[in-house]
Amino acid sequence: MTSCRPEYKKEMSTLQGSLVALVTPMKAEPPHELDVEALKRLVEWHIGEGTDAIVATGTTGESPTLTCREWETVVSICVGVAAGRVAVIAGTGTNCTATSVEKTKRAQELGADAALVVTPYYNKPTQAALVEHYRTIAAAVPDFPIITYNVPGRTACDLLPETIAKIATEAQNVIGNKEASGNFERFKAQRKLLGPAFRIFSGEDCQSCEAMLAGACDGVISVTSNIVPRQMHYMCQLALRGDREKAKQIDGQLMGLHKNLFCEPNPTASKWLLAELGRIPPGIRLPLLPLSACYHDTVRNALKEAQNAQVPVERVCVLRKEQPDLGALRHVPVSDENNA
């Protein structure tokens, strides 16, 4: 098994800023196959625009619709294109502990820098069961960073701050949590219980600026950054520096996107806007449908407002400056098992 890269074992402990919850590009015509070339270009664009990390195969990446082979392909492509310049975090959580263990092991083998592990959906485990679930996953990959993910609106399962603290105490490689409960007080409670070293990320774009300004979170795993990555990166840097006036000004111009990208279930609006911008094809898989026409002008107007935000031309500091040979990434090593 490949260990996470040594430089990132340290780097993940200080990860902050705008982490994109990356969409998965799919071709326009059914069955909406993966568009590998569009994915490569998308990751490269994000790095150039200042995105601080790539979070692949999560909710926004339509992970429930990806086969095992497709999931491996997406993770491998993101790792290959990033080439050490930014961290790649793979979504590996399922509602089966054993399956989550195997996916997390595979993410490490594929070279991801960490795993984002959502709470088990549909099963409705107790808090004690959640501790055992995450402890089991963490024990299977003791040198691989894990970020828990709480999104009760989708999972019918709420990971409480005290439970996160217990998990992190018992599993040293659980380094952070993505909090998407919509409850702002959760950020403060987690910071109080877990201290400044534990990575806390907002899963709600519209709350992220205020949470960073309050010192209660370290960044955002962002849907909005799919569309305007440079603006999101800049807003996060301002907020983390404590520049309230400028951060709130930029965030105010982004608020239309923060809210209207969820006019229909995510990632419907994000994929439609990216297709409008020519960055990906318009493919989206059932059980989701393309964005309803009645919302087109709403999200277009939100985009215009966000694009008006004045941000400097800047890049993030990266560990490796060289751009990889994207053509060399055509053949991605994936497992032949569980191709369903």
Residues marked as catalytic: 149, 178
Contact 239, 247 (CB under 8 A): yes
| Cα 90 to chain centroid, rounded | 8
Is 221 marked within a binding site? Answer: yes
Angle (CA) 192 194 199, round 5°: 110
Report residue 104 as tokens.
Answer: 């997390």
Q: Return d(Cα 216, Cα 187) in angstroms, integer.
A: 5
Q: Which residues of 144-160 are buried (b: 16+ CB within 10 A; e: fewer)?
A: bbbbbbbbeeebebbbe
Is 89 marked within a binding site? Answer: no
Contact 221, 115 (CB under 8 A): no
H helix or E strand, kind and range, residue 255:
helix 244-260
Residues paired with residue 110 on neighbouring β-strands, in sequence order: none
Contact 112, 88 (CB under 8 A): yes
Closest CA to 303 of 263, 254, 266, 267: 254
16: number of Cβ within 10 Å = 18
Q: Return d(Cα 27, Cα 33) in angstroms, integer.
A: 5
Closest CA to 206 of 164, 244, 160, 260: 260
| Amino acid making up residue 272 | W
Which parts are annotated binding residues? 60, 221
Q: Which residues are annotated as a binding site for pyruvate?
A: 60, 221
